[in-house]
Amino acid sequence: MQPVKRRRGRPKGSGVKPKVPGLKDAGLKGPGLKRGPKPKVQIKVEEIPVDDDQQVAHLSMREAIENQHPHLSELEHRVNDLEETWETESIFEDIIDDLADESCFKNDPNACNPNEAVKYRQLLRSVGPEEFCRRTILSGDITAKKMITAFGVRPPPFLEGADDDQYYGLLTLALSRELSKRAKLMKYNTVNDAVSLIQNAKNIIVLTGAGISTSLGIPDFRSAQNGLYTQLANLDLPINDPQEVFNIDIFREDPTIFYTVAKDILPNTKKFSPTHAFIAMLQQKGKLLTNYSQNIDNIEANAGISPDKLIQCHGSFATATCQKCGHKVIGDAIFSDIKEGRIPRCDKCISTLRAAGTSKRKRGGKRSSSGKRSRYNSDDTDDDDNFDIPQAGVMKPDITFFGEALPDTFHDRLVKHDKDLVDLVIVIGTSLKVAPVSEVVPYLPPHIPQIYISRTPVSHINFDIDLLGDCDVVVAELCRRAGWDLKHEMIPPDQKVQTIPQEGYWHRHNFTTYDGSQKKEPAPALPIKIGESGLLTRVD
């Protein structure tokens, strides 16, 4: 598999997009959707390399869509109305992403508990989907409605009260999605396993997101309470979706929309977080292969991460380019305009036009396609700043907007250099929801260990170890256990951290700080099943 060089896309929920198989081969026939005369979809999920004590069967499904059912008639009309291929392929994925919510199953008697979920996922990979369905659904051991919860899918309200076979379509997709994921490496589970991996690795890929900068007061994008998109949704902007602030077509039509909020996301600090310092420490120890950053704040430079070790996947404010003549400047050159709420214009274009004797004209408040006037309307003074030179290009920070291609260095570095060298992957502070960066982790060799550090786990990728909590707290504790002195003003010298395994998940650990006067609760022992070796007692 080789990642396709393509433009920055909308959030999809997963870098791997499984098709929708049927369960006909397993003896299950559930409701599906017909596409009229269009050919039926087929899927074959190739064998996934895993540990020696695991087996993965081929998934070969002959029919993806059959037996139309009235419960899905509304959805069928939606599908039949779709014209673009990517929409047709992703609509089922979008639905299952909306229904994916493992957190809602806690203490739900009608859902599989975490231990049952692990058992069923291991069984699926060891015997394959056909035998799996025979042993579970067809044997009457469990209903399809309950089984989908083992794979993190919430039963949809519109199927409430329906016969169990009405859930076969969702179960089919859940099984396909599970088998399309990289298989977890079962021998890596504990916090100390993560420390050992970091100590022994020589070529670490670190993929970072907005979560590593939030401790500096820079909002992330998707948090429900304080995320940037939530804040933008509360502003009176002439757009339908907050993400359109970063849409290249809308920027070209009306740059005032972006520059309305640009001053609020403009990096204005030379500081860096403990997590940035951790990545810099990996570099100092000769362990950092590449830091793939989705952030546009350019704080990696503040921490001293070398440009030849850094791929800024979505660009940054470090430079800016004229949209008319291509003239490039350092980002600082346009910061004063951004902070004052002005649209920065190209000095080169202005000089050229002035040399040609082009006259000035009064700047007027441009209206967007929605008819709303920009908040940056000029007044009636004769200040030179209130005039634009006609046709002078608009300067745009070199951040990658939706609809723009990612830099070639992203693809070239990943495919031609890092793929064959990497020996450990650490993902920090990102939910991996925006393509094509979300495809980096699934693209890398599946036998390479993967560690995930963030506040909440993700369900569309199987990481080997999930370290959950504040990123700064997690990396500080990893360094303490490794015997590394991670000095940073934001790390209290007497900071104490406790790690508690998440119930039902031996590879997920919650990190929290606590007062030294408080009694530390011991971590509970959890059973671990590793392949054929039976039940082991977890020791961390």
Q: Which residues are annotated as a binding site for Zn(2+)?
A: 322, 325, 346, 349
Structure tokens at 359: 């006259």
Enumerate long-range contacts of 447-452, CB under 8 Å, 24 or more apart.
447/49, 447/185, 448/422, 448/423, 448/424, 449/185, 449/188, 449/197, 449/423, 449/424, 449/425, 450/182, 450/424, 450/425, 450/426, 451/194, 451/197, 451/198, 451/424, 451/425, 451/426, 451/427, 452/427
Residues 6+ apart with CB under 8 A from 157: none
CA distances to 50, 197, 502, 533 from 187, rounded to whole Å, are: 11, 12, 18, 11
Residues comprising the binding site? 322, 325, 346, 349
The three-state (H, E, C) secondary structure of 267-296, written as one string: CCCCCCCHHHHHHHHHHHCCCEEEEEECCC
Distance CA 145, CA 170 (A): 9
509 catalytically annotated: no
Q: Residues 523, 500: contact at Cβ < 8 Å?
A: yes
- 3-class DSSP assignment, residue 535: strand
Measured in whole angstroms, how far is the alpha carbon of residue 50 from the centre of its chain? 24
Q: Quick one: which of 464, 484, 471 has its CA closest to 513? A: 471
The three-state (H, E, C) secondary structure of 407-450, written as one string: CHHHHHHHHHHHCCCCCEEEEECCCCCECCHHHHHHHCCCCCCE
CA distances to 131, 317, 333 from 141, rounded to whole Å, are: 13, 57, 67
Pairing mode, strands 59-61 and 204-208: unpaired
Measured in whole angstroms, how far is the alpha carbon of residue 38 from the centre of its chain? 33
Assess whether the previous peptide bond of 493 is cis (omega < 30° from 0): no
CA dihedral 420, 187, 106, 26 (to 10 degrees): 80
- The conformation of residue 118, written as its DSSP 8-state character, comes to H
Catalytic residue chosen out of the listed positions 314, 411, 460, 507: 314
Structure tokens at 82: 């779709």
Q: Quick one: which of 206, 239, 115 has its CA closest to 506? A: 115
Distance CA 41, CA 73 (A): 19
Q: Is residue 500 within a helix (H) or strand (E), and if so which, with residue range?
A: strand 497-501
Q: Residues 215, 470: contact at Cβ < 8 Å?
A: yes
Burial of 311 (0-12, 13-18, 19+ CB in 10 A): buried
Q: Is residue 60 within a helix (H) or strand (E), and if so which, with residue range?
A: strand 59-61
Looking at the DSSP bridge assignments, the partners of residue 399 are 315
Distance CA 221, CA 230 (A): 8
Catalytically active residues are 314
